[in-house]
């Protein structure tokens, strides 16, 4: 009976206790981006009660405690946060990045083995977190890296939407081949990361020395960029949406002549030739009427072509969820970027999916398919008609006497009117059709088998396929069609690329007391090939639409057809690594890799790449145990070798092709009809002796943490020596060829990197962090093979001067511009007058080889005299007139927050380098002017330049002796030459400019809604932000932008025909459901 009475009492007590249990709910987000943080730990302070956040960042914590309680939220890489909770929530917790905690963030070596804690690294690595990248609302991961890592230069080739982003680590190690690093995305090598959406990225690790890159062998010579995208995680389904809209505007314009100044200088070009003068007067009128042009502002074609403010959009949707055994993460991103050049733009769609499954307790499967679609449209900077941006700038600001005519509409010939309407840059663009469609498919799968404790086998297979198609159409009024019976032209190009890879690794890790070991063995094979073809047809019907023409080539007449396929490139590798540390204080790493490449002949195919690195963590020593200054003090040193095989396939062997006439081409018969020929259409002679280009890298660094990691400093010094440089050399034509791939010499690259991180404010509701990155380095040429110690280079940027402008010279730096030293203009006192002719006095420098020796012509200094050529300026007088290598480059980044507000700003700059402003040269020249009537820079206005025609009647002042005194008087104050006298390209110092600059790369201000507002909206988190990109540029450079063409190894620093960078303003939001 007592037991029966006790039962309801116990039931009442248990119900009472159940009623007292609280469920505290909330969301954990990243402070600066508003993104949710799955996997964060939430503790009830002072107890063992804890939980973790789900994929959507939400958590539920159960407790029986009443009243106000404190929750402590922790996550690796972030500052712990404590919040007080009175009721049951929901609460919102924002976590800020923590420099000290980031020491525990791991680096994944491209799928080779398990992650390694940063504190146990012996090599040089810079890491940029996904949160840092997310603060910069740019379209690609590569752009977001600028100024974020010491010793890493990130530049865009120009300002076009989707333009190539170049990354160079420590200046690169090759002077003759590509200096691009190896890019690894989730363990798979890719060509670049320009199409990786920043919203997909978990972290980017930049590996800079041989102890980190040697395991990648042939591909790691210029450093390695390892991108890890966001992983799949278990929990409830999480949905994250990101969007931004931006508007672009032209940052600066180049000033050009007004119509009045334009017609005056053009007349001076025509006045000396009766035919040209008559033609000029028929177009622009009589010199007596030139003042009428003062009433016209003229056509500013920069406003017409580049003056728009197009809108661009980005959308990203991410789904994440699953169970403990089966998880997935899918990200879909769409970019629609429109450029300031009318008709130019890029549309990109990325789909990245990760599936992970635990097949058993010891076996895990990961599948990672990716798809990218990219559509480029518009003529682009180099294809506005046939003149590019240069054509826009040079086009005449007035159409002459037509501006004054009042011809009745019925009297206008429709064909002539149509020609007039389209025969300008805007009409040229409207008649230019260009569309490129690129499809990329990547499939990747891996299996991890934990054989026993510490022993893991991994196999990784990958496949990459790319299909690129490009359609071009030139209408009947374009510059290209004019020379083809004024009928449209169509060109179709296609390219197919394939790449396959298979990697197997066996890893063993163990601990014996304070001794820690990790061993890795691996094998890898890769194969790639590509096929390219193009077809061009012309003489299409005059009024045909572009879309119809590119789909119906049979409507035109076949003109050109080419196809090219490479031999499959194969790379077979074996590698191994051994890591040891004692008590986490003394660290040692040994690496070895051997690569066999089909790009070299048998006997030369294998390259061997060893490396050794060590580190000493002094802050763990007892003699530093009692001090409070150093929270970390570590010294690292490494030396190792890496390789470079980035040359075309089949450079070592003869190839064969079918010859319709039979025989090898020397009059001999051959029954099979085969003939020998070399690469590049028969111009390249095979060389079976070429071998690997190799780089020996040394690195010395310190990792210093001060005041409990409030300040961290990492200075690093490096010294790289690259030998057996691979270069396509010119050879005597008596061989029957013009070029041959050769190993030509050796260069040395020395430099210094510095990274400083500071936590200026670290409070519960406010924080402010700042990062400074700095890099400086020099590359010198130590040795060149052959008889000569110099090698002249011709630029490949579209700018072709009369002579080579760059030179490899033993003892000199790379990237030096050679040319003539401008010495003003010739004055009358250097000549004897004979009638209306002027004869140079004895001792006057002779410039006949350049622009002539006459009053007013540009004058150049004479440095070297040969016998019989005293005071004569020629090729021997070319000296170094510019250095394209920055003395240093760096970035300054700040990130802060107060309550729910966040702000970030990034500055980037380079100091002490020169730019060849070839665009300015072209706008100061009459080369190819004749009847084109190109515009000129205003610095050559009538009050500054040398003059040849009088202001009243427009007569040529050198036509007879009566005008000579007037000629002298008019030019008594002239300070600069007349562009009329510049008829060819000659590189000289007048157009070499200091390119030093400091840029406010981006500025972002965001606000994360408080939990009370989120509860009403029924969302997990919501952040809104506004941002500006390329906001300010401090520079003395006169062109559009000094950050041009700095990545070209041999001929950098040329500003010619560049699509100008825009200034972007955008607004966006991040929302999690």
Q: For residues 915 and 1054, what is the distance between their CA atoms, to the nearest angstrom?
A: 6
- Secondary structure of 527-549 as H, E, C letters: EEEEEEEEEEEECCCCCCCHHHH
Range with top average pLDDT, 285-299, 470-484, 582-596, 1033-1047: 582-596
673 contact partners, CB below 8 Å, separation of at least 6: 658, 659, 660, 662, 663
Question: How high is the pLDDT of residue 419?
Answer: 43
More confident residue, 41 or 412: 41
Overall average pLDDT of the 448-473 stretch: 93
Percentage of residues in the chain having pLDDT higher than 70: 88
More confident residue, 421 or 96: 96
Which residue in 946, 982, 979, 967 sits closest to 833, CA to CA?
967
Q: How many CB atoms lie within 10 A of CB 229?
A: 21
Question: How high is the pLDDT of residue 385?
Answer: 42
Q: How many CB atoms lie within 10 A of CB 1023?
A: 24
Asked if 41 and 74 touch (Cβ cutoff 8 Å), the reply is yes
Question: How high is the pLDDT of residue 123?
Answer: 82
Range with top average pLDDT, 99-108, 388-397, 495-504: 495-504
Overall average pLDDT of the 272-276 stretch: 82
Question: How high is the pLDDT of residue 418?
Answer: 46
Question: How high is the pLDDT of residue 1046?
Answer: 55
Q: How many CB atoms lie within 10 A of CB 485?
A: 10
Is residue 12 over pLDDT 50? no
Instruction: Give the lowest-confidence range in 371-385, 550-564, 992-1006, 1057-1071.
Output: 371-385
Q: CB burial class (10 A; 0-12, 13-18, 19+) of residue 535?
A: middle
How much is the mean pLDDT over the chain? 83
* CATH topology (fold) of 2-95: Immunoglobulin-like (2.60.40)
900 contact partners, CB below 8 Å, separation of at least 6: 94, 1007, 1008, 1009, 1010
Please give the span between the terminal C-alpha atoms of the chain, in angstroms, as a whole number.
Answer: 56
Is residue 485 over pLDDT 90? no
pLDDT digits (tens, 9 = 90+) for 26-83: 888 877 666 778 778 888 887 878 888 876 778 888 887 877 888 888 876 677 788 8
pLDDT digits (tens, 9 = 90+) for 828-856: 999 998 887 899 999 999 999 999 999 99
Report residue 658's pLDDT band, with 50, 70 and 90 as the boundaries. Answer: very low
More confident residue, 986 or 155: 986
Asked if 215 and 109 touch (Cβ cutoff 8 Å), the reply is yes
Report residue 410's pLDDT band, with 50, 70 and 90 as the boundaries. Answer: low
Asked if 243 and 140 touch (Cβ cutoff 8 Å), the reply is no
Q: Which helix (H) or strand (E) holds 286?
A: none
Is residue 1 over pLDDT 50? no
Overall average pLDDT of the 370-388 stretch: 70
Overall average pLDDT of the 430-445 stretch: 89
For residue 796, give the DSSP letter. -
Is the four-CA dihedral 735, 178, 340, 201 of positive or negative sign? Answer: positive
Q: For residues 381 and 390, what is the distance between their CA atoms, to the nearest angstrom?
A: 9
Question: How high is the pLDDT of residue 217?
Answer: 77
Asked if 41 and 73 touch (Cβ cutoff 8 Å), the reply is yes
Q: For residues 832 and 1049, what is the distance between their CA atoms, to the nearest angstrom?
A: 48
Overall average pLDDT of the 227-237 stretch: 81
Question: How high is the pLDDT of residue 607?
Answer: 92
Is residue 412 over pLDDT 60? no
Q: For residues 637 and 909, what is the distance between their CA atoms, to the nearest angstrom?
A: 29
Is residue 234 over pLDDT 90? no
Question: How high is the pLDDT of residue 2?
Answer: 47
Report residue 330's pLDDT band, with 50, 70 and 90 as the boundaries. Answer: very high
Question: How high is the pLDDT of residue 954?
Answer: 64
CA separation, residue 340 to residues 87, 535, 865 (Å):
54, 30, 51
Overall average pLDDT of the 116-133 stretch: 80
Is residue 478 over pLDDT 90? no
Overall average pLDDT of the 858-862 stretch: 95
Is residue 680 over pLDDT 50? no
Is residue 1031 over pLDDT 90? yes
Report residue 670's pLDDT band, with 50, 70 and 90 as the boundaries. Answer: very low
Percentage of residues in the chain having pLDDT higher than 90: 40
Report residue 668's pLDDT band, with 50, 70 and 90 as the boundaries. Answer: very low
Overall average pLDDT of the 543-572 stretch: 85
Question: How high is the pLDDT of residue 889?
Answer: 92
Report residue 860's pLDDT band, with 50, 70 and 90 as the boundaries. Answer: very high
Is residue 13 over pLDDT 60? no
Question: How high is the pLDDT of residue 993?
Answer: 97
pLDDT digits (tens, 9 = 90+) for 17-30: 444 578 888 888 87
Q: CB burial class (10 A; 0-12, 13-18, 19+) of residue 401?
A: middle
Question: How high is the pLDDT of residue 98?
Answer: 64
Report residue 1034's pLDDT band, with 50, 70 and 90 as the boundaries. Answer: very high
Overall average pLDDT of the 672-696 stretch: 68
More confident residue, 216 or 158: 216
Q: Are strands 586-597 and 606-617 parallel, antiparallel or unpaired?
A: antiparallel
Question: How high is the pLDDT of residue 515?
Answer: 94
Question: How high is the pLDDT of residue 681?
Answer: 45
Question: How high is the pLDDT of residue 606?
Answer: 94
Domain locations in the chain as residue ranges = 2-95, 816-884+917-991
Which residue in 278, 250, 279, 264 sits closest to 398, CA to CA?
264
- Secondary structure of 654-690 as H, E, C letters: CEEEECCCCCCCCCCCCCCCEEEECHHHHCEECCCCC
Is residue 16 over pLDDT 50? no
Question: How high is the pLDDT of residue 76?
Answer: 67
């Amino acid at each position: 009976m007592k037991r029966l009475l006790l039962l309801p009492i116990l039931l009442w007590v248990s119900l009472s206790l159940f009623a007292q249990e609280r469920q505290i709910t909330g969301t954990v987000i990243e402070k600066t981006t508003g993104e949710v943080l799955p996997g964060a730990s939430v503790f009830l302070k002072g107890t063992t009660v804890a939980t973790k956040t789900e994929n959507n960042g939400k958590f539920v914590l159960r407790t029986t405690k009443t009243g106000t309680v404190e929750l402590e939220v922790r996550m690796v890489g972030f500052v712990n946060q404590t919040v007080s909770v009175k009721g049951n929530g929901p609460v919102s917790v924002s976590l800020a990045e923590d420099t000290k905690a980031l020491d525990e963030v791991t680096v994944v070596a491209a799928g080779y083995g398990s992650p390694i804690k940063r504190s146990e690294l012996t090599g040089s690595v810079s890491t940029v977190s996904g949160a840092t990248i997310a603060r910069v609302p740019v379209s690609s991961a590569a752009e977001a890296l600028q100024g974020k890592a010491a010793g890493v230069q990130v530049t865009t080739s120009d300002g076009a939407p989707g333009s190539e982003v170049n990354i160079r680590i420590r200046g690169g190690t090759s002077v003759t081949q590509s200096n691009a690093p190896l890019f690894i995305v989730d363990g798979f090598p890719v060509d670049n990361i320009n199409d990786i959406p920043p919203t997909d990225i978990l972290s980017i690790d930049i590996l800079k020395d041989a102890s980190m890159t040697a395991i990648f062998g042939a591909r790691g010579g210029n450093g390695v960029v390892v991108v890890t995208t966001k992983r799949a995680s278990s929990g409830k389904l999480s949905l994250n949406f990101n969007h931004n809209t931006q508007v672009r505007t032209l940052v600066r314009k180049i000033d050009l002549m007004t119509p009045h100044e334009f017609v005056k200088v053009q007349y001076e070009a025509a006045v000396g030739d009766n035919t040209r003068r008559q033609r000029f007067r028929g177009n622009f009128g009589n010199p007596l009427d030139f003042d009428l042009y003062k009433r016209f502002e003229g056509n500013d074609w920069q406003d017409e072509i580049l003056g728009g403010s197009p809108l661009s959009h980005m959308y990203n949707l991410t789904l994440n969820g699953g169970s403990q055994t089966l998880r997935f993460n899918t990200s879909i991103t769409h970019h629609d970027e429109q450029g300031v050049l009318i008709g130019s733009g890029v549309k990109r769609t990325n789909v990245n999916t990760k599936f992970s499954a635990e097949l058993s307790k010891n076996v895990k499967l990961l599948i990672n398919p990716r798809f990218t679609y990219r559509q480029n449209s518009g003529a682009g900077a180099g294809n506005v008609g046939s003149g590019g941006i240069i054509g826009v700038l040079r086009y005449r600001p007035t159409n002459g006497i037509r501006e004054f005519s009042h011809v009745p509409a019925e009297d206008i010939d429709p064909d002539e009117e149509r020609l007039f309407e389209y025969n300008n840059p805007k009409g040229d663009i409207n008649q230019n059709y260009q569309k490129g469609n690129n499809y990329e498919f990547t499939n990747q799968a891996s299996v991890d088998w934990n054989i026993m404790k510490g022993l893991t086998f991994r196999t990784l297979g990958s496949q990459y396929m790319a299909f690129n198609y490009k359609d071009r159409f030139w209408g009947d009024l374009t510059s290209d069609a004019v020379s083809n019976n004024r009928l449209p032209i169509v060109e179709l190009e296609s390219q197919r690329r394939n790449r396959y890879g298979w990697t197997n690794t066996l890893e063993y890790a163990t601990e014996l007391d304070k001794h820690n070991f990790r061993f890795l063995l691996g094998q890898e094979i890769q194969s790639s090939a590509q096929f390219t073809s193009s077809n061009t047809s012309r003489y299409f019907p005059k009024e045909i639409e572009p879309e119809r023409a590119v789909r119906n080539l049979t409507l035109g007449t076949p003109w050109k057809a080419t196809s090219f396929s490479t031999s499959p490139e194969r790379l077979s590798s074996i590698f191994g690594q051994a890591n040891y540390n004692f008590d986490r204080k003394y660290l040692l790493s040994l690496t070895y890799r051997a690569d066999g490449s089909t790009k070299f002949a048998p006997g030369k195919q294998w390259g061997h790449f060893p490396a050794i690195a060590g580190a000493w963590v002094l802050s763990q020593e007892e003699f530093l145990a009692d001090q409070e200054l150093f929270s970390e003090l570590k010294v690292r040193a490494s030396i190792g070798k890496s390789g470079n095989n980035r040359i075309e396939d089949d450079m070592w062997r003869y190839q064969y092709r079918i010859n319709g006439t039979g025989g090898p081409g020397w009059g001999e018969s051959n029954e099979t009809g085969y003939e020998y020929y070399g690469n590049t259409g028969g111009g390249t002679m095979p060389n079976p002796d070429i071998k690997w280009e190799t780089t020996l890298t040394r690195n010395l660094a310190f990792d210093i943490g001060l005041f409990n990691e409030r300040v961290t400093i990492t200075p690093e010094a490096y010294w790289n020596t690259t030998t057996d440089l691979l270069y396509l050399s010119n050879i005597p034509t008596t061989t029957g060829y013009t070029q041959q791939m050769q190993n030509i010499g050796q260069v040395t690259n020395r430099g210094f990197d510095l990274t400083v991180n500071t936590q200026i404010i670290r409070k519960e509701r406010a924080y402010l962090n700042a990062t400074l990155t700095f890099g400086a380095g020099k590359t010198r040429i130590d040795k060149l093979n052959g008889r000569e110690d110099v090698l002249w280079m011709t630029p490949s940027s579209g700018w072709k001067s009369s002579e080579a402008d760059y030179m490899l010279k033993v003892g000199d730096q790379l990237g030096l511009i050679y040319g003539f030293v401008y010495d003003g203009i010739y004055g009358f006192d250097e000549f004897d007058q004979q009638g209306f002719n002027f004869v140079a006095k004895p001792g006057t420098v002779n410039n006949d080889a350049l622009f002539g020796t006459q009053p007013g012509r540009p004058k150049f200094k004479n440095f070297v005299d040969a016998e019989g050529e005293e005071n004569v300026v020629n090729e021997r007088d070319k000296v170094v007139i510019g250095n394209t290598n920055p003395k240093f480059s760096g970035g300054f980044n700040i990130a802060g927050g107060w309550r729910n507000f966040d702000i970030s700003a990034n500055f980037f700059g380079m100091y002490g380098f020169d730019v060849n402003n070839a665009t300015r040269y072209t706008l100061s020249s009459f080369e190819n002017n004749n009847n084109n009537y190109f515009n000129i820079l205003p610095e050559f206005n009538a009050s500054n330049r040398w003059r040849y025609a009088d202001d009243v009647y427009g007569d040529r002042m050198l036509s007879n002796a009566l005008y000579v005194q007037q000629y002298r008087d008019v030019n008594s104050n002239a300070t600069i030459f007349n562009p009329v006298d510049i008829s060819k390209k000659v590189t000289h110092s007048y157009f070499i400019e200091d390119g030093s600059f400091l840029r406010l790369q981006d500025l972002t201000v965001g606000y994360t809604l408080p939990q009370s507002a989120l509860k009403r909206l029924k969302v997990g988190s919501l952040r809104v932000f506004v941002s500006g990109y390329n906001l300010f540029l401090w520079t003395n450079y006169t062109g559009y932008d000094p950050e041009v063409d700095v990545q070209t190894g041999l001929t950098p620093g040329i500003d010619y025909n560049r699509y100008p960078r825009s200034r972007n303003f955008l607004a966006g939001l991040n929302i999690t459901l």
